Structure 1
Amino acid sequence: MSLKLYVHPLSQPARALLLFCRANSIPFQEHVVDLIKGEHKREEYKKVNPFQKVPVISHDGFLLTESVAILRYLSRTFSVPDHWYPKESELQARIDAYMAWQHLNLRSYGSMYFQTGYVIPRTFKQPVNEQKLSKFEKGLETALDEITDIWLKDGPFIGGGKQISVADLLAVTEMEQPGMAGYDVKTYNKRITEYMNTVREILQPHYDQIHSECHKIQEKALKKA
């Protein structure tokens, strides 16, 4: 069985998929789509993903887009521990609830903070729009408060889980993203700090390997902040 991952190191959901596969020793071929050079906009890539984004998987010729769908598919298809995406209905529902929530909350505001504070200024050679950045910062902090007070209220992992799940992979990779624009989520509050450190340690050495490029950019950005 051949599994191919189309990814880029600056893509949060792509990093979540890489973490899942490496943590579970799932063999795969990694194909880096160079977003900086615009490879995702080329016609040949449109045949892989008509939305022209990453990540995508090709599994024995079966193409699948959307990170949440991919994580569910990989959890069902490969032999992985049940805690990643539990079969028990209530536990699975909590994970599904987070994955539905995150799109318009943590992912939305964290991504836009990153785009506004890092991508757009470098791509178009223009100063940061501080008004927009402030707006996205407020939304990001609201999402972090909700993660602290709701999603992590009943246990060490998302949704009150006692073990790590695919929801945690999506959460931590999103939390890493604003750091490249100078906002260190890891120090937002004690609970977030503990949570990110716990997930990072569980996923070592893969976590630091997969985030190496992000962390280099973060280090430079945080020195300037």
Structure 2
Amino acid sequence: MVLKLYYDLLSQPSRSLYILLKLSKIPFEQCLVSLAKGEQLTKEFAETKSIFQKIPFIHDGDFRLNESVAIVRYLSRQYTLDDKWYPKESKKQAKADEFLEWNHSNVRLNCSTYFIVKWRNPLISGKQPSEDRIKSLTKYMEKSLTDFENIFLTNGPYILGDNLSYVDIHAACEIEQTRVAGYDARNYSPKIKNWIEHVRSECNPVYDEAHKFINKLASMHGEENKSKL
């Protein structure tokens, strides 16, 4: 049976796994889950798809697995995943894992929180956050972006050095998300801008395919801002 990926391209880790599977040419069935419709929140979904009721996740025959990082590690063992995406050599793999573990409570936490408070919550509730709240979230997010730049983009054009890997795709998808809420990290840091453009270039056309909806939402936000001028 072919591997099934359950995903929504509005989700950052969904995009990173989608890009990886496409580029690595691992055959997979695309199983779309609409976050906007709350398809993952039903009792039937929890019973038949994923008890976590979150995406992305995979079904590989009778085997089910959640969490994007766990999925990548599984793919590296179970399938012919090129070593460049997730290194097999112990020390290189440890450095990849170092970033993936650090990312949870830094870039992902702060970029996601900014996106949720600035864009998603107002979309649902119709209520805008206070200016002070946004300033505070921006401060924490930019601290994470500065740490990311100073810690992980110092040994070459990519996180692990000279070569693109899955951790770059994973990080770029997280950082791209804030564009929907009107914040583009490319404008915050020239180094981050250069790195994202390298990742995009090496992963295209799949990268742009995965970010088509994000790009559309970001463009809509830009048009809304222009209309207020």
Alpha-carbon offset, residue 122 of structure 1: 0.6
Alpha-carbon offset, residue 8 of structure 1: 0.7
Aligned pairs for 1:18-167 within 5 A: 18-47=18-47, 48-158=49-159, 160-167=160-167
SS at structure 1 position matched to 2:87: coil
Aligned partner letter, 1:130: E
Unpaired stretches in structure 2, ≥5 consecutive residues: none
1:121-170 CA-partner distances (Å, limit 9, x unpaired) = 01111123332222221111111111111101111111x32211121111
SS at structure 1 position matched to 2:209: helix
How many pairs are equivalent?
Answer: 224
SS at structure 2 position matched to 1:34: coil
Alpha-carbon offset, residue 23 of structure 1: 0.7
Q: Kindly, what percent of the aligned residue pairs are identical?
A: 38
Alpha-carbon offset, residue 73 of structure 1: 0.9
Aligned partner letter, 1:171: A
TM-score, length basis structure 1:
0.96
SS at structure 2 position matched to 1:83: coil
TM-score, length basis structure 2:
0.94
SS at structure 2 position matched to 1:82: coil
Q: Is the 8 A contact 1:2 1:60 kept in 2?
A: yes
Separation of aligned partners in 2, 1:117 and 1:29:
33
1:54-108 CA-partner distances (Å, limit 9, x unpaired) = 0010011210000100011112221122111111111111110000000010000
Q: Is the 8 A contact 1:183 1:222 kept in 2?
A: no
Q: Is the 8 A contact 1:5 1:31 kept in 2?
A: yes
Aligned partner letter, 1:138: K
Unpaired stretches in structure 1, ≥5 consecutive residues: none
SS at structure 2 position matched to 1:84: coil
Does the alignment pair 1:208 with 2:203?
no
Which residue pairs with 1:185 in the alignment? 185
Separation of aligned partners in 1, 2:98 and 2:222:
33
